[in-house]
Structure 1
């Protein structure tokens, strides 16, 4: 049986990313794609940060970066700035940058030199040209830099609801994706367990050959209807609640070109600046902090000026589905699973999963058996690696000011892989061979910035002898000085893009 009709159930960022990936990949195939969106269930709408791979997806879709920036309230993201993730009694008010430039642009010797220097300076500042650009609130490019290209590495912050609407228009206009509003209340399956029809609230049965579940936390189809088990990870990842606010800003406020992630006694706070507002979220563990304490701390962070704003509470169900593809149904987005958005994880995994599905989408029912196991294995690997990477931020912290931070270091909360990696990295610095899979969404550079930013360092007797690195340091500083002269401020570039647009490649 040929696959001729695909239903994507659920809109939002995940649904429309899937629609664009499949629409682009299946052009000319005569496969019809319909996105079915509930008119009554709102999207979560708080995933507003990305990683650099999003540039590749938008470019692949044929989207104009200038249009995207102007229509989705986009700002540039060059880093995540982690504040107070270490013990303030030992390190004072501390921060480090997880930059989007590779730390070895000027050579691996700079990392070796930093390790051998008794770490008197910040790692990211020592090896990268991007650190000071971020601290000076500079843009990652100039108005003459072509679309999707950068002087420094970058991703985006955006208004999630505007982004979903933007992707919707593009999918409909460029890839002829159909958009239908309905609440799906049931499915019809055949004797082999494959879905044949979706049933809406009016008992209308709609025939489809393949289903993509983008219904969010409920996983209404893959989980509720097909019974794929949810694997709970709350015993090792302790945060389970977020309270969020949209905070207005002034037109002359500077716009940090990075996400700010500020640790507190039982979790952390995200702070994302768009052109007209900030998206702020207070992530915490309800085991270690009451809702009232969380609200009080959020208002302390924001200041009395914003005490009148009412936060939105979002319970977080941390974990993943046992598998993401069952029979003719694939889950993408929050229906796959959830882990706190500390490293822009939600959109990253949704984009990866949709792209992977589009690359080898089955053309007939018999094809499913040929690709389903690989897909599940790859996506499950990505989720497990992501859980480890997020957990690492907590378990290598030396904070002892609350039971939350102390409990996060308990050995039984760590996977065997993470324990093995951390034991090795306590003796030897991470290297490329530690990340052998092409499905490592978080790679060597990500781990270097986080491990060394949090002062998790290899033993001194395993370090390489370094000579002649001074020339590299001088070259890096020359480049930094050039960028400080050439790059506009973040807000200035956004205003120019709004007025003139960027050059096409």
Structure 2
């Protein structure tokens, strides 16, 4: 039990495996003779899924943490800026509505009640448009920074859109050339265990047995270690979020100078929704849907109607849910092996980042510490998965769209009890830090406000806070002033990306 943790073995590459390897190797000096040894085994027989093309702003910190150049990232990963999400047709029955969930906090957030005065005097203006400048940047396709703004710095908070296949290759190159990660391109054929049930070694086709002290399962939905070897099953979430299928396609732009969207656009459909992600060279588009509410042919027809053209999409299927445990004995699952929920709000890569960071920050020194750290990890990520599921459900439960799919989403029996309680509280006050009290919440209360009021949720008149409405009005004016200044100063998304590709960004 006092055996030191000196060798981390990661099984599976892709974004999850290489991000995890990068974070641990950078933090624990894997390149140094006295550093932690980090080995990644990646099967040449298994192709990465290649979806998950949207990130949160946290990715900027993660890339900086592992020493990546943002200029190189843009050039090699076909990356673009993302400043939030736009939801089209989610709210009403005619499909003409839209709202934004931007990445910046409302102006004056936490200082006063922004909701009551908006409801009383400005209800004709979308909430996010009134309290934030960022929806206006997105609407006009502006970038979140200037050409002189250094790498990873921001004028407006931003994440990325990226080519997931190229991202995995980019991370692998960085990990091998700069961070000292050992790479074994081989297929795992067996698992050897210690007497106590811990994993002792992985048997590979060409390299024999590879021993380690801590094993990280990044093998995707097959979950080779945690799911198959240890039998840790999924906590099924199909009774809450029904989507289990997707059709994905890549579409070229009409011209080389076509605008690049500054946000992910999600458009509601009769039994699901369509994502639309703009990269510099193409758009990634897909239809996520429930196989219990529509057929593959109907879903494909809806996708083609959105595209205005025929397409031959690739089909993906998934079981919505998360593992009963994420860390069991000396094995922890990160990425799709830990679970998957539909990609609304792009939580998949964010959960990878959070998982990799927590493993690295709380890395046990010896085998005796593993069980303690595992309990903490499991508690943290059970909480995080539950909050993600509730946040996604919020988008559905407030919709007034017709049809069996939407009716079933509104059925109270499909709404998690905690979300029902919060909606009752929010009839009288906005979402706040009191509702999400952990230090590292997945979604801050501001995000819940953007979606809640974007979806047309109407609080009871009066509420519980008697704030001075002139204070809120001042913050509304500040947001409008920032909007005018930024629209006059920021380039288009495509113009800045073209500049980065030609000239690069300044180092901090």
**Do both proteins adopt the same fold according to a TM-score greater than 0.5, normalized to the shorter chain?**
yes
- 2:506 maps to what in 1? 503
Counterpart pick for 2:287 among 282, 292, 298: 282
RMSD: 1.5
Q: Would you say the 8 A contact 2:130–2:480 is kept in 1?
A: no
Kindly report which structure 2 residues correspond to 1:465-480, keeping only aligned pairs within 5 A, or say none. Answer: 465-468=467-470, 469-480=472-483
In structure 1, C-alpha distance between the alignment counterparts of 2:115 and 2:69, rounded to whole Å: 37
Structure 1 position 155 matched with structure 2 position 159: yes
Structure 1 position 192 matched with structure 2 position 196: yes
Moved more, 467-476 or 430-439: 467-476
In structure 1, C-alpha distance between the alignment counterparts of 2:113 and 2:425, rounded to whole Å: 21
SS in 2 for 1:461: coil
Moved more, 107-116 or 5-14: 107-116
Q: Would you say the 8 A contact 2:9–2:38 is kept in 1?
A: yes
In structure 2, C-alpha distance between the alignment counterparts of 1:403 and 1:352, rounded to whole Å: 36
Q: Deviation at 1:185?
A: 2.2
Counterpart pick for 2:300 among 287, 295, 303: 295
Q: Would you say the 8 A contact 1:112–1:464 is kept in 2?
A: no
Counterpart pick for 2:150 among 146, 150, 158: 146
In structure 2, C-alpha distance between the alignment counterparts of 1:204 and 1:170, rounded to whole Å: 26
Q: How many residue pairs get matched?
A: 499
- 2:364 maps to what in 1? 362
Gap regions ≥5 residues in structure 2: none
Kindly report which structure 2 residues correspond to 1:227-306, keeping only aligned pairs within 5 A, or say none. Answer: 227-249=231-253, 250-304=255-309
In structure 2, C-alpha distance between the alignment counterparts of 1:474 and 1:196, rounded to whole Å: 62
Q: Would you say the 8 A contact 1:81–1:96 is kept in 2?
A: yes
Q: Would you say the 8 A contact 2:85–2:102 is kept in 1?
A: yes
Cα deviation, 1:86-110, whole Å, max 9, x if unaligned, reads 1234xx6010000001013475454
Q: Would you say the 8 A contact 1:186–1:225 is kept in 2?
A: no
In structure 2, C-alpha distance between the alignment counterparts of 1:321 and 1:480, rounded to whole Å: 43
Q: Deviation at 1:475?
A: 2.8
Q: Deviation at 1:118?
A: 5.8
SS in 1 for 2:462: helix
Q: Would you say the 8 A contact 2:15–2:164 is kept in 1?
A: yes
SS in 2 for 1:408: helix
Q: Deviation at 1:315?
A: 0.4
Kindly report which structure 2 residues correspond to 1:79-158, keeping only aligned pairs within 5 A, or say none. Answer: 79-89=84-94, 93-105=96-108, 108-117=112-121, 119-158=123-162
Q: Would you say the 8 A contact 2:107–2:476 is kept in 1?
A: no
Q: Deviation at 1:202?
A: 5.3
- 2:76 maps to what in 1? 71
- 2:326 maps to what in 1? 324
In structure 2, C-alpha distance between the alignment counterparts of 1:296 and 1:485, rounded to whole Å: 41
Q: Deviation at 1:395?
A: 1.0
Kindly report which structure 2 residues correspond to 1:350-429, keeping only aligned pairs within 5 A, or say none. Answer: 350-399=352-401, 401-429=402-430
In structure 2, C-alpha distance between the alignment counterparts of 1:169 and 1:455, rounded to whole Å: 46
Structure 1 position 438 matched with structure 2 position 442: no
SS in 2 for 1:113: helix
Gap regions ≥5 residues in structure 1: none
In structure 1, C-alpha distance between the alignment counterparts of 2:485 and 2:469, rounded to whole Å: 26
In structure 1, C-alpha distance between the alignment counterparts of 2:283 and 2:215, rounded to whole Å: 36
In structure 2, C-alpha distance between the alignment counterparts of 1:38 and 1:93, rounded to whole Å: 46
Q: Would you say the 8 A contact 2:323–2:338 is kept in 1?
A: yes
Structure 1 position 5 matched with structure 2 position 7: yes
TM-score between the two structures when normalised by the length of structure 2: 0.95
In structure 1, C-alpha distance between the alignment counterparts of 2:206 and 2:287, rounded to whole Å: 40
SS in 2 for 1:433: coil
Cα deviation, 1:254-304, whole Å, max 9, x if unaligned, reads 111000000101010000000111111100001110000011111110012
SS in 2 for 1:222: helix
In structure 1, C-alpha distance between the alignment counterparts of 2:475 and 2:236, rounded to whole Å: 47
Q: Deviation at 1:438?
A: 1.6
